[in-house]
A and B are shown apart, each in its own frame.
Chain A
Amino acid sequence: MGENGIQKWVFYIPVIFFVLFFAAPIVLTIVFSFFERTQFWMEPGFTLFAYENFFTSARAENYVFSMLHSAAAVVVSFIIGFPIAVFVRRRVAKAAQHRVILLFILPFMISELVRVFAMRPVLGRNGVVNNFLIDIGIINEPITVILFSPLGVVIGDVMSFLPFMIFAGFLAMEAVQNYVFEVCDDLGAGPVSLFGDIIVPLAAPGIFAGSVFIFVNSMGVALVPTLLGGPGAVNAGLIANQAIVALDFPLAMAISTIMILTLVLLLYIGHRLFDLTKVLEPIS
């Protein structure tokens, strides 16, 4: 094989990788979702039973709850994370900006299981937060709504996935040129209008990208509701997981297909609103 031949095959490696490890599993997931369930596995066929089961059982309701919790995690992450990204971009010396942002990677060096589990002694009935608030006299009884509750799940999701918003926001802010801020200053724009009318619209594609990462992880990572959620708390990933445990593979595939469709719909809406091709454009 000549040099050109090798180069040609090297070019196709990403395509082969994409087909084998991305496209094919998705296609198989969708196909399997229409298969017939057998006692221990599934067999080829075409039935909508798994989808019917999903929409007529409480799983659809659980799925919607999962979307609402995930959306709440996105909003809180934006409120906390994006100002951090703006602050680093605007106030930290240029040479130190990337190092500061890299600090937010550090939590990812620790197992997610450990990170989420570590929230328990912080948020628990006899945890750090409650003990502190009782010690300083703000409360008399422990606050129980911050753990084993929907709020506990949102807190866990934010703590787990906040860096996605900071990274994406920071990268988006790199696309906002300094002269924009100078012009705003010259025109006397206050910090609120600067943030709401100028920064957010310009960084919107990046914010959306970060939001998608957080939303998808909050929907799919089962650890958070398992460890921090209330009685029977689930997210979409956990619903699919429980179907697998019960050997209902077509149902698990149907739930996964619905998750894929949700993501595609989300990306479509995002693209229509923010033109997501801008996220991938080189920074000028």
Chain B
Amino acid sequence: MNQSEWTRRAFMYTAAGAGAAATLGRIPGASAAEGDALRVWANPGVHKVGAKDWSAMASQAGIEIAATAKSARADESIQKMVVGDGNKLFDAITDNGGGMEDAMASQKAIVPIDTSRIPNWKNILPVYNEGGLAAHTIRFEGKVYSTPMISNADSMAYDFKALGFHPDSWGVMFDSQFKGRVALQNDFGPTLTNMGIYLKESGKIDIENPSNMKPKEVQAVCEFLIDWKKKGQFRTFWDGFQNGVGILASGEVLMSSCWEPIQIVANRKAGDAADIRYGTMKEGHQTWNNMIMLTKGGLERGMDAQYYNLANVYLSPWFGSRTLAGLGFAPQMTGVDAYLKANAKDFPEGTEARVLDILTRKNARFAVKGNAWQNVFPTHIRDYQDWWARLQAA
């Protein structure tokens, strides 16, 4: 970087930072001048807001970001960060909580973070400090290794117009009147966890922990699904965002276990033909979060200040309100409702009411007692795999 570039960048960051500092609580001493761009390996679809590229995120953080797109596949992350050259290439990475931070930390691919360097950490949702499973998703051996950015409680989308009622139980998927009009996600993790929650809470199968089922429990859940598959209850198991949207928006299925953004986009796409909504299941939901981690290589290259700046944005109401308004993900900080009220002019008309409605329903889902956290690497993962193959073959 030459002197003129430095001056231009410093000016841009100063200008951008002036606005950001008011809402974010800027980190003293951390600026773009401290190094080159933060090389982030992240899912571009869900880990940035404010612009089509990363410019708004960079502007808010007061740093320069060089982002590389990654998928949500665990194998991709592990191969790159544990076996491959991920630590040479990336200063920070995003991924699933509830397993991936343990895997990365145990292999020394990521480093513990100093939460005192993230001013907005004081706003983090209380669950992350209460010592439960949510708190565990960002920790390894008691140390905090990641900053949560989004979360959700995955549920079922349904066409209210066709059904005429609001399902409040996963059991509706196994009502024979909807034979051939039901879809599940083609992924053994979330599907078996959600079905495990349903079968446990409805008293059909004795399951100790739906997040980490024993072989016999996995077998019982899969045999239940195999039975219904043979009866023709399922139309398909969807794989991929557009696929999930398509089956709902086209009326191919009336209900589907899916991510909330799929419901939002499918409802928009269906127009007047359907009224696709996202339910709250009384048995519970698989809850999950995404987080950003500082790589060992990033720390060694002195990119920690930039990481903390970006982490601070992820815990700001600026990010939380926009991820909630866009894809419907839960913000990881308090104060989003107040921020929305104070900054209503920055959003399209009606956003505040719509977003607060999503947040209220989301909080209702998070409050269900039977919820279970996502577990990327369950202890008996091979049993999950093998029984999933049996379900596929049935």
Contact = CB atoms under 8 A, between A and B. Distances in A.
Interface residues on B, range: 35 or more
Interface in B140-194: 180, 183-184, 186
A59 B382 contact: no
Interface stretch (B208-216, B245-253, B303-311, B326-334): B245-253
B250 A248 contact: no
Contact of B393 (A58, A117, A120): A58
A58 B237 CA distance: 17
B234 A231 contact: yes
A61 B250 contact: no
A11 interface: no
7 closest A-B pairs (Cβ-Cβ)? A232-B392, A58-B393, A231-B234, A58-B390, A148-B236, A58-B389, A61-B393
A232 B250 contact: no
A75 B33 CA distance: 65
Given A41-B82, A148-B236, 12 more contacts: A40-B107, A57-B386, A57-B390, A58-B390, A59-B393, A144-B180, A148-B235, A230-B235, A232-B186, A233-B236, A246-B75, A247-B74
A120 B235 CA distance: 13
A138 to B, nearest CB: 21
A102 B368 CA distance: 60
Interface of B: 73-75, 78-79, 82-83, 103, 107, 180, 183-184, 186, 229, 234-237, 239-240, 242-243, 246, 250-252, 377, 381-382, 384-386, 388-394
Given A244-B75, A245-B73, A233 B392 contact: yes
Most B CB atoms within 10 A — which of A59, A124, A232, A234?
Answer: A232
B236 A124 contact: no
Most B CB atoms within 10 A — which of A231, A233, A244?
Answer: A231
Contacts of B391: 232
A148 B183 CA distance: 11
Contact of A40 (B103, B243, B393): B103
Given A53-B386, A231-B234, A226 B393 contact: no
Interface in A116-149: 117, 120-121, 124-127, 144, 147-148
A231 B235 contact: yes
Interface of A: 39-41, 53, 57-59, 61-62, 65, 117, 120-121, 124-127, 144, 147-148, 226-227, 229-234, 239, 242-248
A97 B310 CA distance: 61
Q: Is the interface of B mostly helix, strand, loop or mixed?
A: helix
B381 A226 contact: no
Contact of B250 (A126, A230, A245, A246): A126
Given A125-B250, A125-B252, A232-B186, A62 B73 contact: no
B242 A246 contact: no
B103 to A, nearest CB: 6
A226 B250 CA distance: 17
15 contacts: A58-B394, A61-B393, A62-B389, A62-B393, A124-B252, A126-B250, A148-B252, A226-B243, A232-B237, A232-B391, A242-B385, A243-B385, A245-B74, A247-B75, A247-B78
B236 A230 contact: yes
Most A CB atoms within 10 A — which of B82, B83, B389?
Answer: B389
A117 B244 CA distance: 12
Contact of B243 (A41, A53, A59, A227): A227
Contacts of B82: 40-41
A147 B253 CA distance: 12
A227 B245 CA distance: 12
A162 to B, nearest CB: 23
A244 B74 CA distance: 9
Contacts of A144: 180, 235
B382 to A, nearest CB: 7
A147 B385 CA distance: 26
A61 B243 CA distance: 26
Contact of B83 (A40, A57, A121, A231): A40
A62 to B, nearest CB: 5
B80 to A, nearest CB: 11
Nearest to A152: B236
A226 B239 contact: yes
A230 B242 CA distance: 17
Given A120-B246, A226-B239, A245-B74, A62 B392 contact: yes
Contacts of A233: 236-237, 392
A120 B250 contact: yes
A246 B188 CA distance: 10
A229 B237 CA distance: 9
Contacts of B107: 40
A21 B391 CA distance: 36
A248 B236 CA distance: 25
B236 A229 contact: yes
B154 to A, nearest CB: 18
Given A40-B78, A125-B252, A226-B239, A246 B385 contact: yes
A231 B385 contact: no
A232 B229 contact: yes
A213 B394 CA distance: 28
A239 to B, nearest CB: 7
Contact of B389 (A41, A59, A121, A127): A59
A210 B183 CA distance: 36
Most A CB atoms within 10 A — which of B79, B234, B252?
Answer: B252
A127 B384 CA distance: 35
B212 to A, nearest CB: 15
Contacts of A127: 250
Contacts of A246: 75, 381, 384-385
